[in-house]
Amino acid sequence: MSIIDKVIGAVTPPESDEARAEATAKARAAATPGDWLSLALEHHGQIRAAFEAARAASPGESRVAAMRALATVLNGHSLAEEVVLYPALAKVGEKAHAGMAYTEQTTAKMQMAELERIDPAGEAWGDKLEHIRGAVLHHMFEEEGSWFLELKEKAEDQDFLSRRFSEEYRRYVFGVAESPAAPAAENDLEEVGRNDAGPLQLGDQTRDEADRPAF
């Protein structure tokens, strides 16, 4: 067992199924239709279903297909969180929670990369999937039970978060061309972020200033 397996083993859901369902219900009550939270909860439902499909898949090619479907929604969702929601969580003063969220998701990505290299016909594949599932369920419990509620309560730029979270998810899952902020052509990168009409106020910055690389 690798060190990462030990770490992930240690975070395998300490909470009950009932506690997780309660956290989901609480987060749903805080969400409004079309906002980032309702979209994130929708992704979480898809991730749970994708794990169940992978667990039920027959050893071999069916497992590989189920793992790819799981990876698409898991990566799209987690990258959108890492680019949009976790920075916002840090910005409202919850830096420790944001840091933990990044660490847990990076560990899950490393585990998914390991899963890809395990024989899908063998028992080890199922064991690895269970480790990842346990860690991801616990991570979503933390998000739904506290981190997302903090962000919903404290962030002032809710509409901005909803728009950007959706954009980043779509960019990964449906491709760059489907993203509203995508450049028209490969050499048209300067236009990224300038597709909206007029500058958007982000605290003290305008949208144009915020888009400018800081390096």
Q: State the residues that interact with Fe ion by CB under 5 A.
A: 143
Specify the residue, 49 or 121, whose C-beta has the smaller distance to Fe ion. Answer: 49
- Cα 45 to chain centroid, rounded: 12
Nearest residue by C-beta to Fe ion?
143
Specify the residue, 72 or 206, whose C-beta has the smaller distance to Fe ion. Answer: 72
Residue 188's DSSP bridge partners are none
Residue linked to tokens 């976790």? 86
Q: Rounded distance, CA 95 to CA 102, Å? A: 11
Specify the residue, 94 or 143, whose C-beta has the smaller distance to Fe ion. Answer: 143
Q: Rounded distance, CA 103 to CA 110, Å? A: 11
**Cβ 140 to Fe ion, closest distance in Å?**
5
**Cβ 118 to Fe ion, closest distance in Å?**
24
Q: Rounded distance, CA 131 to CA 150, Å? A: 28
**Cβ 184 to Fe ion, closest distance in Å?**
31
**Cβ 87 to Fe ion, closest distance in Å?**
14
Specify the residue, 35 or 143, whose C-beta has the smaller distance to Fe ion. Answer: 143
Q: Rounded distance, CA 67 to CA 55, Å? A: 9
